Amino acid sequence: MSVAAPAELAEIVAPDESRGAHDPDVGLTTLPSGLRIVSQHMEHAATVSLGIWIGAGSRDELPHEHGLAHLLEHMAFKGTARRSALQIAEEIESVGGDLNAATSVEYTCYTARVLGADLALAVDILADIVTAPALTEEELKREKGVILQEISAVQDTPDDLVYDRFLQAAFPDQPIGRPILGTAKTVKGFTPDAIRAYLARNYHAGNMVLAASGAVDHDELVALARKHLSALPARPAVPLIREPGEYRGGEARIGSDEEQVHLVLGLPGLPFAQGAHYPLQIFASVLGGGLSSRLFQEVREQRGLAYAIDAFHWPFSDCGVFGIGAGTAPEDANELIEVALGCLRQAAEDVTEVEVARARAQMKVGLLASLESPGGKLEQMARQVLLFGRAIPREELAARLDAVTLADVRNAGRSLLGHQPTIAAIGPLHGLPPAKRLRQAARAAD
């Protein structure tokens, strides 16, 4: 059970529209209830990875529900109407399988991995925990304590906490910017009825995908879905009505006695719904995506200002955010920020064809490598069907990357400049520049 990253490669290279061919190697069936079932058989696989994806995550919580999506993910494993928590664990482990789950900003998933012969058992267990969690007061009290410890662990891990604070500063007072775990206050206040209300609103057939990859037969998977998921409320597959995400930019500075300053600099990104997120992702890779990237070479190799530094672009369904993350000595923080922003401005003007080709190749290898495993293919299919209603052929994904030109990448870099920057920093803060100077540095190329 975990908190999922805001955006991963399978999402980043997804198409910006639902039109186009469905992957011919993938089976896709929609039941009358609205439940979508997607699968790919892998000839040489002995195991099957499968899961149920729900198109609702932390940003779909109401204000008083902050942290509830993640709590529900935990509670699903704590017993159902037919099984105790121990029975869930024993049944899946008796066949050598395992269960997991994750909550993200825009989705929640419950997954399993078993031998192909045990597909029916795995579907039965996943369906049971998703459709009939017991939600007892006793288990809820116990699991609240576990999540409070999880929140405390993040508070004690500055290189994780800084990214939570970064999103909060970039999207202040918005669901998309709230930490997925919630707060101690909100978690303590949750009741079984509050969880059931969230379940009723979001866990319906039209907002769910059953996916499997590996040693799986699509017709068998559809039959198992009809058998075990027929109790789901029947609703059409329509996008959730969400509070729009609006990048505003801001600051989160938390002083502490850490030896390093952990910092993230940010600027507005782009959503999946616009094709421009492809060149922006390539620009992020050129800037800080590997050992040959400009940030690594200048910040690490030439100046020794940080052990590691990276640039990223997190696209969401309706907005996005671009960022640079690093840890550095307090006395080097100001120089690192100036150098990082300088690299960004320079790359926006003179990124080369060679750099774009290298970044594109890195993205393709990462994509194709992820598709070679049942687990990687599973995640890609499920999220694509949730977002776009189809599984995307890898040839189409590669073609979209190939279509990005040098001018596109430079324009994507320039689009970052002139906006209100975001900074999140944890540690000794005496070396950080004031907000006004940071804004000036981010706008210097206007």
Residue 245 belongs to some domain of the structure: no
Specify if 235 maps to a domain.
Answer: no
Nearest 10 degrees: CA dihedral of 165, 170, 171, 173? 60
Q: Which residues of 232-261 are buried (b: 16+ CB within 10 A; e: fewer)?
A: beeeebeeeeeeebebebbbbbeeeeeebb
Q: How much is the pLDDT for 12?
A: 42
Q: In sequence order, what are the residues at sequence separation of 6 or more whose Cβ sits closer than 8 angstroms to the Cβ of residue 195? A: 68, 71, 72, 75, 133, 135, 140
Q: 37 and 125 share a domain?
A: yes
The β-bridge relationship of strands 261-268 and 422-427 is antiparallel
Q: Are residues 216 and 260 in the same domain?
A: no
pLDDT tens by residue, 271-305: 987 667 899 999 999 999 989 999 999 999 999 99
In a domain, residue 182? The reply is: yes
* Same domain as 368, residue 309: yes
301 within some domain: yes
* Domain final position from 228, 263, 293: 228
Dist. CA 3–CA 165, nearest whole Å = 15
Q: Indicate if 217 and 267 belong to the same structural domain.
A: no
**276 shares a domain with 216:** no
Q: Could you tell me if 154 and 96 lie in one domain? A: yes
Measured torsion, CA atoms of residues 173, 174, 175, 179, in degrees rounded to the nearest 10? -50
Torsion angle, CA of 370/224/134/69, rounded to 10 degrees?
30
Summarised one tens digit per residue, pLDDT across range 189-207 is 999 999 999 999 999 999 9
Answer yes or no: is 36 within a domain: yes
Q: Cite the active site residues.
A: 73
Same domain, 199 and 314: no
Which one, of 430, 423, 302, 289, lies nearest residue 360 by Cα? 289
Asked if 317 and 409 sit in the same domain, the reply is yes
Domain final residue, candidates 167, 195, 228: 228
Going by C-alpha positions, the residue among 47, 56, 39 that lies closest to residue 317 is 56
**5-62, pLDDT tens digit by residue?**
554 444 444 444 445 566 778 999 999 999 999 999 999 899 999 999 999 999 999 9
Q: Is 393 contained in some domain?
A: yes
Are residues 256 and 171 located together in one domain of the fold? no
Nearest CA to 103 out of 71, 78, 130 is that of 71
Are residues 271 and 188 located together in one domain of the fold? no
Asked whether residue 238 is assigned to any structural domain, the reply reads no
Do 173 and 246 form a contact (C-beta atoms < 8 A)? no
CATH number of the structural domain spanning residue 171: 3.30.830.10
Residues 391 and 352 in one domain: yes
In this structure, are 223 and 330 located in the same domain? no
For the chain, what is the domain count? 2
Interhelix angle for 406-416 vs 353-371, to 10°?
90
CA quadruple 280, 284, 289, 294: dihedral sign: positive
Range of the domain at 416: 251-442
CA distance 355 to 366: 17
The pLDDT of residue 8:
43
Rg (CA), the chain: 22
Q: What is the pTM of this model?
A: 0.90
Nearest-angstrom CA–CA distance, 12 and 277? 8
Identify the bridge partners of residue 69 per DSSP, sorted by sequence position. Answer: none
